[in-house]
Amino acid sequence: MTDEARLEAFEARIARGEKIEPGDWMPEQYRKQLIRMISQHAHSEIVGMLPEGAWITRAPTLRRKLVLLAKVQDEAGHGQYLYHAAETLGATREQMLDDLLSSRAKYSSVFNYPTLSWADIGVIGWLVDGAAIINQTMLAKSSYGPYSRAMLRICAEETFHKKQGQEMVILLSQGTPKQRAMVQNAINRWWWPTLMMFGPHDSESKNSAELMRWGVKTRSNDELRQVFVNQLIPDLHALGLSVPDPQLRFDEETGNWLIGPIDWDEFWRVVKGNGPCNAERLEARRQAHEDGRWVREALAAYAEKQKTEGPQGPQRPQGPCEFARP
């Protein structure tokens, strides 16, 4: 089969809605695009643990602490699924982590902003996880099997996160004037960074055409951003909350909430490493990587030992004591 015929058969499979699996033939560019996108997504999950992780020790009640701990732990799990998905395409964990820690890799711009108050935790849950779900529900239908299956599981967990965040925002919005001001202030700070999560306008999105051709993305950055705005604005208004956009208006003709211009200079500054917390986030990841060195070394030593002593290790004595209860 020529490469052209292979490409034709590959695209026909995608058109029929079939999933592409790791051992299947795929164009080199499809593989590259997926590694780029999935590894960036994995990095976003593990860097995304940091802004909220900073509040675990300061959660106001035990229940809130448990919820936040579970959420941050979920994000680590999402990172794991995604690194595994990228590994099925031939990327190695070491290379991906090295790219992140040496600032070569991108991760979502939104995690380079500080969490200044407890209300930020609710707002991240509702807005940031809410935005992520809209994007990931689309990616759950992506043409690459391992990515799409990881997304199904991630979306189920993110839905909990969104509900937890929404519950917190509702509670704070009905609380004391101070709590209300705190939650409004958090929305004011997270609104624009959340909209930027969806990526540049379609006219500036250099990867979209290829990703859409191969069924990785099925909706554009602007389309998804609009879905998010339309969903969120009525809910915020119902709580007496607002977004910091004087140009926001409802367009009767299209039924869309139209937003004012996004500050793309700020977006690119953050993406290029010069946001408010980029240096701090990477430093925390580098430290975590260093702190985990002994675990990696112990695992490597264990694997080496298994190679020399067999998969069971040295023979252990078998006897009734093995099963004795204390």
| Site residues, ligand BYC (CB under 6 A) | 36-37, 40-41, 44-45, 48, 75, 106, 108-109, 124, 128-129, 132, 135, 196-200, 205-208, 211, 221, 271
Residue 8 C-beta: closest distance to ligand BYC, Å? 24
Nearer to ligand BYC by C-beta: 41 or 64? Answer: 41
Residue 31 C-beta: closest distance to ligand BYC, Å? 15
Nearer to ligand BYC by C-beta: 143 or 208? Answer: 208
Closest CA to 82 of 152, 143, 146, 133: 146
SS3 state at 239: coil
Residue 188 C-beta: closest distance to ligand BYC, Å? 19
For 177-203, the DSSP string reads: HHHHHHHHHHHHHHHHHHHHTT-S-GG
Q: What's the burial of 16, exposed, middle or buried (CB within 10 Å: 0-12/13-18/19+)? A: exposed
Nearer to ligand BYC by C-beta: 72 or 172? Answer: 72
CB-facing half-sphere around the CA of 61: CA atoms within 13 A: 4
Nearer to ligand BYC by C-beta: 180 or 210? Answer: 210
Q: CB of 42 within 8 A of CB of 96?
A: yes
Nearer to ligand BYC by C-beta: 104 or 325? Answer: 104
Alpha-carbon separation of residue 306 from 247, 299, 303, 309, 318 (angstroms): 64, 11, 5, 5, 20
Question: What does the alpha-carbon distance between residue 154 and residue 78 come to, in Å, rounded to a whole number?
Answer: 6
Residue 112 C-beta: closest distance to ligand BYC, Å? 9
The residue number with the shortest CB distance to ligand BYC is 48
Residue 259 C-beta: closest distance to ligand BYC, Å? 16
Residue 44 C-beta: closest distance to ligand BYC, Å? 4
Closest CA to 164 of 66, 56, 47: 66
Nearer to ligand BYC by C-beta: 103 or 174? Answer: 103
Tokens of 157: 């967990």
